[in-house]
């Protein structure tokens, strides 16, 4: 009850009269009753925190209440843990939805903030559509796009018209993107691009975890760094320390080498790459290839290590030379390469093959050493000795000469009789290649020969058995054409009937024709051909990436949980906020 003096009371110059007050009290009571009556189950009703100025426009917005900011505050609503501020709100109470216009800010908890020019929000489904200069931040990253859909029920936000994400490490863009708030993960699709000062990533689909900065790639993806390029169709990459792997159609261009395999691993900091299963490493400078089922590349040491059916393939006189060992190692810079094949070493080319315990090739000297129980086949000629050296011409890379040191022995099956063997032995052997064919063979010190002599009609004349200080064999079509004896030769050509069979072999004779390597496949033994390949995780069966990421973050040995060598504590992005008054 107000005291009156015959006039309506006033409350100052800008005060509302009692009629106006009564109207607003009645309006908000009706709104409250209506909201209570229409409130969806589970308390999903959007609540008005501050309505400011109120009006209605049934012609344009039938059934809606229109609120607009005043001089002090913006309009504010609250809904299940989220607050929304805007300049104008068109609120459909019965439908439990609203349209927000102008300087919109949606705040969910202490982490998620979304700003836009316009927004539609449905309180029943908790779906928001925001457009006009949309940005979403969570304290660690900022997403900007033209239109963003925010599903608060699933805690997901997505765009399909292009967007950009900026965090402390990277700038990421894509045509389509979804942000999953619980694992703090983005799923980017179509024209995905990551821009980093040290590298760029392009992909068709990429999952990115904002906390760890880890990226999981699907579909054709390329990572291009200053000194490397990686391609894969499924893979992982730690964007902070430039470390990762690919497990489908993967290729790394690294240190003048192309590395391909079922599974490849790369680490920039340690300058290391490794590969597993069906590997091929191509040396782009020397045109050499290494194949294996496990390999490592150490950039700082200019080295390649390969095992499990490892083979080196190089071009020699338009013919491929295949070299195998249980382990292969290639070290050294360009033109100083050293190739080693350890244990059970073998090699093959069309007219030359051999095996020994280990092979050592040095590019600088052009010398290939066959070490420990070596045997060499030059077409049909079997050559053995304590140590065998093949020497290449450094200018032309053609085979130049041959050295057999200690206990040199050369044997070939007599091609006419097919029963006897031509033989020559000495302390050392020196051979000369002309146009890649062994043409001259010199045997020196304590030399002996057994040779089957035929006339022009291929009739056996006799068997030459001679000893002397030096023998020269001239070869034609990989067969002995002429023999020259030096310094007091002692011997004769014996009729076949006068030379017993047991005297037709020199001391130390061992024919190993059944061991001769006749094709590139024969450099591998049974163990090589029956290697059980490692099962690559994720190729045949999909990986639960969220579970793997959680496992990584809980693994104290994983690089994401340890200080990296590239940077100190990551800087938080500078997040621009719109000024708000409450």
> Is pLDDT above 60 for 401?
yes
How would you classify the pairing of strands 243-248 and 214-225? Answer: unpaired
Instruction: Kindly state the tokens that stand for 86.
Output: 């805007």
Q: Which residues pair with 466 in a beta bridge?
A: 449, 491
- Kindly state the average pLDDT of the residues 516-537: 90
> Is pLDDT above 50 for 225?
yes
> Is pLDDT above 60 for 236?
yes
> Is pLDDT above 60 for 31?
no
What pLDDT, in 10s, does the model give residues 95-122? Answer: 999 999 999 999 998 889 999 999 999 9
Distance of CA 38 to the CA centre of its chain: 58
DSSP secondary structure letters along 124-153: TTTEEEEEEEEEEE-SSEEEEEEEEEEETT
Q: What is the number of alpha carbons within 13 Å of residue 439 lying toward its C-beta? A: 8
pLDDT band at 3 (very low <50, low <70, confident <90, very high): very low
pLDDT band at 557 (very low <50, low <70, confident <90, very high): low
pLDDT band at 400 (very low <50, low <70, confident <90, very high): very high
pLDDT at 70: 94
pLDDT at 1: 31
> Is pLDDT above 70 for 556?
no
> Is pLDDT above 60 for 41?
no
pLDDT band at 317 (very low <50, low <70, confident <90, very high): low
pLDDT at 561: 47
pLDDT at 521: 94
Of 445, 538, 517, 547, nearest in space to 486 by CA: 445
> Is pLDDT above 70 for 160?
yes
pLDDT band at 355 (very low <50, low <70, confident <90, very high): very high
Lowest mean pLDDT across 10-24, 299-313, 415-429:
10-24
- Kindly state the average pLDDT of the residues 53-64: 94
Any long-range contacts for 182-187 (C-beta under 8 Å, 24+ apart)? 182/155, 183/209, 183/546, 183/549, 183/550, 184/138, 184/140, 184/209, 184/210, 184/211, 185/209, 185/210, 185/546, 185/549, 186/210
pLDDT band at 124 (very low <50, low <70, confident <90, very high): very high
> Is pLDDT above 90 for 68?
yes
> Is pLDDT above 50 for 319?
yes
pLDDT over 70 for what percent of the chain? 86
Computed over every residue of the chain, the mean pLDDT equals 85
pLDDT at 332: 85
Phi/psi of residue 72, nearest 5 degrees = -100, -40
Q: What is the dihedral of CA 368, 371, 376, 382, to 10 degrees?
A: 140
- Kindly state the average pLDDT of the residues 62-90: 95
pLDDT over 90 for what percent of the chain? 65
Cα–Cα distances (Å) from 63 to 8, 95, 103, 189, 387, in that order, read: 34, 9, 24, 40, 100
pLDDT at 192: 95
What pLDDT, in 10s, does the model give residues 267-315? Answer: 999 999 999 999 999 988 877 899 999 999 998 888 999 999 999 998 8
**Burial per residue of 125-145, b for 16 or more beta-carbon CB atoms within 10 angstroms, e otherwise:** ebbbbbbeebbbbbebbbbbb
Of 358, 374, 452, nearest in space to 407 by CA: 374
Helix (H) or strand (E) holding 26: helix 18-38
> Is pLDDT above 70 for 536?
yes
pLDDT at 28: 42
Instruction: Kindly state the tokens that stand for 223.
Output: 């990572």
Lowest mean pLDDT across 33-37, 44-48, 62-66, 252-256:
33-37
pLDDT at 15: 33
What pLDDT, in 10s, does the model give residues 363-384? Answer: 899 999 999 999 999 988 999 9
> Is pLDDT above 60 for 249?
yes
Q: Is residue 308 helix, strand or coil? A: coil
**Burial per residue of 36-61, b for 16 or more beta-carbon CB atoms within 10 angstroms, e otherwise:** eeebeeeeebbebebbbebeeeeeee
């Amino acid at each position: 009850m107000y005291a009156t003096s015959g006039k309506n009371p006033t409350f100052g110059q800008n005060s509302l009269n009692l009629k106006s007050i009564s109207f607003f009290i009645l309006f908000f009571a009706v709104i409250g009753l209506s909201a209570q009556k229409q409130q969806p189950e589970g308390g999903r009703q959007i609540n008005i925190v501050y309505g400011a100025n109120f009006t209605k426009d049934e012609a344009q917005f039938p059934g809606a209440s229109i609120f607009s900011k005043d001089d002090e505050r913006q309009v504010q609503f609250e809904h299940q843990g989220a607050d929304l501020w805007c300049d104008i709100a068109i609120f459909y109470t019965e439908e439990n939805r609203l349209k927000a216009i102008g300087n919109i800010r949606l705040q969910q908890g202490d982490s998620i903030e979304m700003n836009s020019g316009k927004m539609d929000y449905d309180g029943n489904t908790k779906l928001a559509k925001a457009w006009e200069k949309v940005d979403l931040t969570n304290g660690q990253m900022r997403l900007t796009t033209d239109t963003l859909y925010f599903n608060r029920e699933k805690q997901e936000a997505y765009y399909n018209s292009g967007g950009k994400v900026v965090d402390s490490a990277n700038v990421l863009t894509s045509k389509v993107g979804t942000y999953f708030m619980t694992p703090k993960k983005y799923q980017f699709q179509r024209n995905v691009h990551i821009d980093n000062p040290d590298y760029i990533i392009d992909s068709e689909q990429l999952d990115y975890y904002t906390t760890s900065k880890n990226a999981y790639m699907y579909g054709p993806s390329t990572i291009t760094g200053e000194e490397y390029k990686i391609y894969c169709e499924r893979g992982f990459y730690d964007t902070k320390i430039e470390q990762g792997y690919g497990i489908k159609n993967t290729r790394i261009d690294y240190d003048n080498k192309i590395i391909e395999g079922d599974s490849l691993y790369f680490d920039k900091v340690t300058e290391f790459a490794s590969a597993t299963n069906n590997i091929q490493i191509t040396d782009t400078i020397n045109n050499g290839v290494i194949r294996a089922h496990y390999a490592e590349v150490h950039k700082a040491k200019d080295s390649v290590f390969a095992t499990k059916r490892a083979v080196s393939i190089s071009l020699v006189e338009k013919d491929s030379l295949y070299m195998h060992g249980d382990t292969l190692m290639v070290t050294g810079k360009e033109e100083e390469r050293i190739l080693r094949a350890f244990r059970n070493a073998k090699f093959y080319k069309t007219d030359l093959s051999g095996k020994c315990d280990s092979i050592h090739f040095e590019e600088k000297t052009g010398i290939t050493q066959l070490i420990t129980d070596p045997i060499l086949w030059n077409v049909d000629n079997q050559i053995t000795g304590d140590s065998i050296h093949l020497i290449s011409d450094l200018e032309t890379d053609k085979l130049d000469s041959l050295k057999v040191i200690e206990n040199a022995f050369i044997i070939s099956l007599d091609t006419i009789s097919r029963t006897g063997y031509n033989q020559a032995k000495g302390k050392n052997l020196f051979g000369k290649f002309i146009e890649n064919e062994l043409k001259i063979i010199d045997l020196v010190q304590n030399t002996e020969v057994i040779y089957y002599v035929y006339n022009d009609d291929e009739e056996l004349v006799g068997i030459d058995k001679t000893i002397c200080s030096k023998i020269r064999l001239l070869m034609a079509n990989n067969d002995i054409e002429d023999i020259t004896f030096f310094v007091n030769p002692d011997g004769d050509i014996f009729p076949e009937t006068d030379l017993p069979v047991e005297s037709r072999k020199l001391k130390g004779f061992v024919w190993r024709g059944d061991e001769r390597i006749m094709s590139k496949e024969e450099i591998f033994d049974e163990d090589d051909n029956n290697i059980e390949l490692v099962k690559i995780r994720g190729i045949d069966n999909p990986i639960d990436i969220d579970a793997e990421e959680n496992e990584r973050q809980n693994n104290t040995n994983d690089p994401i949980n340890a200080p990296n060598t590239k940077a100190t504590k990551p800087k938080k992005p500078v997040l621009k906020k719109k000024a708000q008054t409450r």
